Every structure is written in C-alpha cells, then in structure tokens.
Amino acid sequence: MTPFPFSFLVQLADWVWLVPALSLLAVVLNAARVLLGRAQGDASEPLTAGLSSLAALGSLLLLIGIDAAALLDVVPGHRVLGVWFGSGNWQVNVSFLLDGVSLPLATLTALIGWLAMRFSANYLHREAGFHRFFIILGFFQAGMQLVLLAGNGLLAFVGWEMCGVASFLLIGYAWHRPVATGNALFAFVTNRGGDAGFLLGLGFALAWLGSFEWSAMTAPGALAQVHARLLLLGFVLAALAKSAQLPFSPWILRALEGPTPSSAVFYGAIMVHAGVYLMLRLSPLLSQVPDLMLALVVIGLLTAAYAWLCGLVQTDVKSALIFATLFQVALMFVAIGLGWTTLALIHLCLHAGWRAWQFLLAPSWLALVRHAPAPPPAWLRDRQVLYTAAVQRFWLDKLAHALFVHPTESFARDVRALEEHFIDRALGEPGRGVSLAEGRPLIVGDGLPGRALAGMAELLQQVENRLLLRGRGGMAEQLLHRVSAYLRTLENLLEQPRYLMMAVMATFVVIL
C-alpha cells in the first residue's frame, strides 16, 4: 500500500489544471463584482486584491506540492487529462507537461505574480482602474501558466494569446492618453507577426506529425531535417517577437507605458522570457538544425550589442532596466544557440527574480541610490555617429513603425472607408433612417434592407387603407356583410319544412 504522502502527491499532479483555473476564477469573480456595481469606492479594493492574491497563492502552493512530487520521482512528465476536440484520425488533448523546464518556471511565475499583486494593492490604491488592473493581471497569470505548463502547442498558443491581450490592455491602461493607446497598438501589432509564426509551426506540426503535442514534435527522428527546419522557423519567429529580439526590439520600450507592477511582471520578469522558454521546450528538435542554432547566436549577439549601446545613453530608470533586461535575454538566446540549455534555464530563473525586484523598486530607485545616473562613457560621447545612433535607438522604432504599424493603420483606414462609403450605405446604420413618405414619419428606412422593409410597410399600409379603412367599414367589411347576408338567406331556406324534408330524403337516397 502506498504511504499517504506519496499517494497524495501522485494525485496532486492531476489537479495541475487548477493552476490557471484559479486565476481565471478570480478574474470572473472580480469582473462580476464590477458589472454588478459591487466594486466601487475604497472599501471594495481589499476584496478585489485579496481574491487575486489568494488565487495566485493557491497556484503557488499547488505547484510547490507538484514540485515536491517531482523531486520524489512520483509524477510522470506528460499528463493527459482529457480530449479537447478531434477530427478524423487526429485529436487535441488537454494535456500538461510537468518536467524540469516547466515546473521551475511555473513556480517562479506564480511566486512573482503573487508578490506583484500584493505590491499592487498599495501601489494602485485609489487608482481609477484599480479593479480593471487586477482583472487583467489575473488573466495574464492564467495565460502565462498555460504557456509554461501546456503539454501541446495549441493549448500553449491559447495562453500565448491571452498574454498578448493582457499586455495590450495594460500598456493602454491609461486609455484616455493617446500616447498609451498608441504604444499599446504598436506592441500589439508587432507581436502579431510572431503569432503568425507560432500558427505556422502548429500548422506544419499537424500536417507532418498529426499532433500538437510537444513530445511528438521533439521525438528523435520524428521529422526529416527539412521539415524540422520549416517547423522551427515559425516557432523561432514567435520566440524572437515575444522576447523582443531584433528586429522586433522596439516594441518593448513602448510597453513601459503601463503601470510599474505590470512592467515588472510582463517585461522585466515573466513574459519577456516566454520566447526563451519556447526555445528551451523545442531544444531537442532545435539541436537537429544547426543553422537555426547559429542564427539564434547571431541574433542574440546583435540584440545584446544593440541593448548595451542603447542602455548606456538612457536617462530614466525604467528605460535603463528594460535595455538591461533585453541584454540578458539576448544572452539566453546565445546560450541556447550554443546548446547550453541548462545554463540558459538557470540564467532565466535568476534574472527573472532579480529583475522583478528591480522593477518594483523603480519608482523609488533614485531615492534609494541617492545619486544621479552615471553619464554615458567618454568613448561613446566622442563618437558622435555611434552616440546619435544609440540615442535614436538605431532608428529601429521608425523602421518598425513603417514595416508593421503603418501598413496596419492604412489597412484599418481602408476598411473604415469601405464601411462608411459602401457597407453603411448598403446596410444602413441604426438611428440614421429617414422617412420615406411625407406625413408618415414613423415609416423610416436606411440602407437597402431598411428601405425594402419600409417599402413593404408602405405597401401593406396601402392595402390596409384600401380594404379596411376606406369609408364606413371599408371594402373588406362590406364584402363580409354581403356574404353573411347570403348565408343567413341560405339558412332561412334550409329551416323551411319542405326543404328540410327534401334534405332528409336526399340523405336516405344516398345511404340506400
């Protein structure tokens, strides 16, 4: 018989789905309170923060228990909890992968998320968007845990998109400021390029493997090298965009527009490492494609040089920290490209904890250090071209705007023009109908369907006027009176005795 602690730990792994579910439950409860008008005033803030913190703490404790089970070798890595959906010969499982990569990062994410929520309860006190912040942050926590713990790429992509939506909403937290909404749009559009790469990788996996499971993708010999290269290209693109590596680096500086706790969680400690995690997850497959590993080394080195030079000329704490973060993440990509995956994982965990602490202290950093930031080094100031390029961040912002944001805005304007000049005129808009006949203001219509309905209503009105409302009683009533008179005459005739006897005799003749 299995001792109680061991049997309990074995069963605990089957409840891993609660890790993202607890955060989503807190999101639903807080959102319901807001919609029902129960989250108003200072008195409602502790409950909102408490629900979010309690969900994060519950996830943390559950993960610690699963970690203990993993250390005792009683938890299998791949847990299939059920079938999500399927078609033909393939199906998508609700599966989780509990191994030496996902469990440390998921536990660290839960810890940092819990600390950030505790910090935010005081930091955002009396903010207009207090409850909205905790709802979005809880949604992000659930999405990030799905990314880290999912046993297949499709479930991870759901979490990947949840993180993207939460990031967009928190960058645009101060939605009344055009700068905030503009930066949110910039980051959102840039990351959609990486999402397209993720979907491309999933499509190739389904076509060539018939499965989205990470274990199927990384199995030795599962894919020919050319197929492995094409599949990895999509995931590498997704990783570079999410971790802000070149050429996607400009978006992360704009993302600092959000509140400091979200900057700490998203871009200092957790989400910026999602691309590194994706490469660690696919490292067995990546080792089969040396040219892509070399590409990661080159891109990582270029990003590290870019972040280092730009960080030397920054004049505010958060910008300096974000370029330091970008530099460290770039080194993780270099380590993965060189095959040093264990070093990259340890580097990720240490850097996430350290950077979260630094970002949470950013508002009071100058008061703590009590001296002005160091000026750029003399060797950089003396090289005017390089110094100017660093100050302008090598003009990558303008390039990214021209390549990603401007085409998106142009497309949106074209769609808006199509809607205003064709679709709205063809289908109509609520509240903009005009009367089609003088003297009858209630019959209005706009657009082809509206005018057709209004025309039909006008036709029915004319029929009604002609049949029922003309003169005394109308034509229809007169016809009914005349028919009823004929029927009364027929009834009177049938009531006469001779006609009654004739009807009886006719009946007997028919019967006989």
Name the pLDDT band for 482 (thresholds 50, 70, 90). Answer: confident
Residue 454 domain-assigned (yes or no) = no
Residue 148 in tokens: 């880290």
What CA–CA distances, in Å, run from 329 to 315, 344, 345, 361?
A: 21, 9, 11, 20
**Cβ proximity of 467 and 476 under 8 Å:** yes
Phi/psi for 125 (5° steps) reads -55, 130
> Are 199 and 57 members of one domain?
no
List the domain range (segments joined by +) for residue 308. Answer: 178-366
Question: Could you tell me which residue, 3 or 219, shows the higher pLDDT?
Answer: 219
Q: Which of the listed residues 366, 385, 406 is the one where a domain comes to its end?
A: 366
- Within 10 Å of residue 349's Cβ, how many Cβ atoms? 15
pLDDT of residue 433: 59
Residue 413 domain-assigned (yes or no) = no
Does the pLDDT value for residue 4 go beyond 60?
no
Angle at 99 between CA 94 and CA 103, to 5 degrees: 90
* Mean pLDDT, the chain, whole residue set: 83
> Are 213 and 135 members of one domain?
no
Residue 461 domain-assigned (yes or no) = no
- Within 10 Å of residue 146's Cβ, how many Cβ atoms? 25
pLDDT of residue 41: 81
> Are 48 and 189 members of one domain?
no
Question: What span, in angstroms and rounded, lies between the C-alpha atoms of 212 and 122?
Answer: 42
What 3-state DSSP class applies to 181?
Answer: helix
Does the pLDDT value for residue 138 go beyond 50?
yes
Q: Which of the listed residues 151, 168, 187 is the one where a domain comes to its end?
A: 151
Residue 453 domain-assigned (yes or no) = no
- Within 10 Å of residue 441's Cβ, how many Cβ atoms? 10
Block residue for tokens 């090298």 = 225
Does the pLDDT value for residue 73 go beyond 70?
yes
Is the preceding omega at residue 247 within 30 degrees of 0, hence cis?
Answer: yes
Does the pLDDT value for residue 102 go beyond 50?
yes
Among the residue ranges 54-68, 189-203, 325-339, 403-417, the one predicted with the least confidence is 403-417
Residue 341 domain-assigned (yes or no) = yes
Question: What span, in angstroms and rounded, lies between the C-alpha atoms of 17 and 238?
Answer: 25
Name the pLDDT band for 129 (thresholds 50, 70, 90). Answer: confident
pLDDT of residue 407: 75
The mean pLDDT of 462-487, rounded to a whole number, is 67
> Are 272 and 352 members of one domain?
yes
Name the pLDDT band for 402 (thresholds 50, 70, 90). Answer: confident
pLDDT above 90 covers what percent of the chain?
A: 39
Residue 129 domain-assigned (yes or no) = yes
Residue 231 domain-assigned (yes or no) = yes
> Are 89 and 183 members of one domain?
no
Query: Which of these, 288, 21, 8, 283, lies nearest to 149 by C-alpha position?
Result: 21
pLDDT in tens, 424-472: 666 666 556 566 566 666 556 666 666 677 777 777 777 766 665 555 5
pLDDT of residue 128: 84
Q: Which of the listed residues 135, 151, 167 is the one where a domain comes to its end?
A: 151
What 3-state DSSP class applies to 308?
Answer: helix
Question: What span, in angstroms and rounded, lies between the C-alpha atoms of 453 and 310?
Answer: 63
Does the pLDDT value for residue 135 go beyond 90?
yes
Question: Could you tell me which residue, 103 or 315, shows the higher pLDDT?
Answer: 103
> Are 208 and 139 members of one domain?
no
**Cβ proximity of 52 and 139 under 8 Å:** no
Residues with Cβ within 8 Å of 281's Cβ and at least 6 positions away in sequence, in order, are: 101, 102, 214, 218
Count the domains in the chain.
Answer: 2
Query: Which of these, 211, 233, 237, lies nearest to 222 by C-alpha position?
Result: 211
> Are 125 and 258 members of one domain?
no
Name the pLDDT band for 360 (thresholds 50, 70, 90). Answer: confident
pLDDT of residue 109: 93
Residue 230 domain-assigned (yes or no) = yes
> Are 16 and 67 members of one domain?
yes
> Are 12 and 142 members of one domain?
yes
Question: What span, in angstroms and rounded, lies between the C-alpha atoms of 67 and 65?
Answer: 5
Question: What span, in angstroms and rounded, lies between the C-alpha atoms of 17 and 11?
Answer: 12
Angle at 347 between CA 342 and CA 373, to 5 degrees: 165
> Are 126 and 74 members of one domain?
yes
Block residue for tokens 């990486």 = 194
Q: What is the DSSP letter of 17?
A: T
> Are 233 and 307 members of one domain?
yes
Name the pLDDT band for 163 (thresholds 50, 70, 90). Answer: very high
pLDDT of residue 500: 65
Question: What span, in angstroms and rounded, lies between the C-alpha atoms of 34 and 27?
Answer: 11
pLDDT of residue 1: 46
> Are 224 and 322 members of one domain?
yes
Return the top range by mean pLDDT from 6-20, 49-63, 72-86, 175-189: 49-63
Question: What span, in angstroms and rounded, lies between the C-alpha atoms of 89 and 511?
Answer: 71
Name the pLDDT band for 203 (thresholds 50, 70, 90). Answer: very high
Among the residue ranges 71-85, 174-188, 204-218, 287-301, the one predicted with the least confidence is 71-85
